[in-house]
Structure 1
Amino acid sequence: MKILFVGESAVVHTVEYKGYDSFSATRYGEAFPAMGQMLRSLGHEVTHIPCHLVYREFPRTLEGLQDYDVILFSDVGSNTFLLLPDMLSTGKPVPNLLKLVCRYVEQGGGFAMIGGYMTFQGMDGKGKYKNSVLEKILPVELYYGDDRQETPEGTYLRCVPDSHPILMGIPAEMPYILGYNKLKAKSGAQVLIEEEGDAILSVWQWGKGRVVAYAPDCAAHWAPKAMTEWEYYPRLWDNMVRYLGGEKMRS
């Protein structure tokens, strides 16, 4: 699969106070490399666009998006796609990148939104995907406001093995996660994993394409080492991107 992975990066600015004095520091970090390495080791071609480069590198045409079999959004908010610097500086219209994603899926592309503090609704509702054009193609309904479900005690996941192509070869007992975005499955969606009525992993068809909503993060802290170093973790993601791209699962 040819995958476009968007997000999982941050510029972090800190201020330290030491009595009367203080100083600040700025650093840049990415949670993407481990995911990228894993997907590439499975034979997939992966292009990564960090959050701060979406305005410059995310395709602005349907044809550009169709160069990819699968698009993954992880921990990147809707404003990053909608408030583009050239629009703000010139006042001139620019393509609506979220509408482009919808058209991409309608015409056969695969799309997944992965949980985090800036996807779905996220921390303080700042992901802002509720009532966006992208919400209509998701197999889940988003809640208003902050939708984080922090579970520091650990939430252990279970599935029905081989009940769906994404779960082929995945055992029933899965590792724990430390949180997720609270999501409600829409009518017509297929929920593959749930927790007390919350849709953890859900899928459906939209137009000619397929869409996945994965409520936990793909990296820390919601996806701790117990999950990311699980022997079946690569299989789960391989199944997911192959399903999204319309490729037959491996037996």
Structure 2
Amino acid sequence: MKKILLAGESWMSYTTHVKGFDSFYTSVYETGEKYIKRAYEEGGYDFTFLPNHLATEEFPFTIEELKEYDMIILSDIGANTLLLPGATFTSSIKRPNRCNLIRDYVLEGGALFMVGGYLTFSGVDAKGKWQDTAVQEVLPVQVLPTDDRMEHCEGITPVTTKSHAIVDGLGEWPSILGYNRTLPKEDGEVIAEVEGNPFIAVGEYGKGRSAAFTTDCAPHWAPPEFCEWEDYNKLFLNIAKWLMKE
């Protein structure tokens, strides 16, 4: 059984409630892996979810550990989470650069899938920072150095632009509520667009492959009509099969 690792897709919120003279606080921990996890598990894959707060220390530190997985997914996780492990940030101890390892993993035959969100690609306030890492070398799109979020509360519909195994046979695209704006690269192939910008792009690097999906795999950019779309599972399974050369 082929193995998939998803890193990211989690967040914690701490809210202050003020009611006149009094105030109180609430906190919540949430994850967004539900739909993509379902797609891959129903498709017969061994799926491992590594939320952001664990990825800092538990995302693989060696190429051998990365190669235990047939596909790596980065979704709504900033580069700093991998670049600043606790030993480095708090004690100035050298640790392997895991962004470099991801690049090497792809070049040596691995599959990389970046999914959009507030901290992938460039993200909110450009805090994703992936364009400044070696991961950019094996992405089929150019990440912007500025905040790349394109918010569409009215809804906007992607368009398939090229025949490809990933999109062939899919039904009509449902609308989305936003995406990360990127630029196409000469060594990549854009197979679907939104507002003329890459929506799905793929590329081959060394012995491996990568794909960029510039909207979310869960709310808020992926509304219910997208997450419950009849071809949701088929889309993500097609991406995995192409990336892993199945």
TM-score, scaled relative to structure 1? 0.94
Structure 1 runs (4+) greater than 6 angstroms displaced: none
Q: Pairwise mapping of residues 1-251 of structure 1 onto structure 2 (< 5 A)?
A: 1-159=2-160, 163-171=163-171, 173-247=172-246
Deviations 1:123-170 (A, max 9, x none): 111111122221121111111221000011111122258x11111321
Q: Distance in 2 between matches of 1:59 and 1:242?
A: 23
Secondary structure in 1 matching 2:241: helix
| Equivalent position amino acid for 2:85 in 1 | L
Aligned-residue offset at 1:34: 2.7
CA RMSD of aligned residues (A): 1.2
Distance 2:7 2:132 in 1: 21
Q: Which amino acid aligns with 2:219?
A: A
Query: Could you tell me how far apart the structure 2 residues matched to 1:54 and 1:26 are?
Result: 21
CA distance, structure 1, for counterparts of residue 205 and residue 145 of structure 2: 23
- Native 8 Å contact 2:7 2:49 kept in 1: yes
- Comparing 30-39 and 6-15, the one that deviates more: 30-39
Unaligned runs of 5+ in 1: none
SS in 2 for 1:68: coil
Q: What are the Cα deviations for residues 189-242 of structure 1, in whole angstroms up to 9, with x where unaligned?
A: 110111232111101101110010110000001111111111111000000011
Give the number of aligned pairs: 245
- 3-state secondary structure, aligned to 1:134: helix
The range that moved more, 129-138 or 67-76, is 129-138
Q: 2-side partners of 1:18 and 1:47: how far apart?
A: 42
Unaligned runs of 5+ in 2: none
Question: Quick one: percent identity of the two aligned structures?
Answer: 40
TM-score by length of 2: 0.96
Letter in 2 for 1:153: E
Distance in 1 separating the partners of 2:150 and 2:90: 37
Aligned-pair distance for 1:90? 2.5
* Separation (CA, whole Å) in 1 of partners of 2:194 and 2:120: 19
Amino acid at match of 2:217: C
Which letter does structure 2 place at the counterpart of 1:21? Answer: D
The one-letter amino acid paired with 2:199 is: I
Structure 2 Cα separation of the partners of residues 144 and 155 of structure 1? 24
Q: Which digits, 9 at most, give the CA deviation of each residue in 1:82-113, with x for residues without a partner?
A: 01101123211001111110000000000011
1:11 offset after TM fit, Å? 1.1
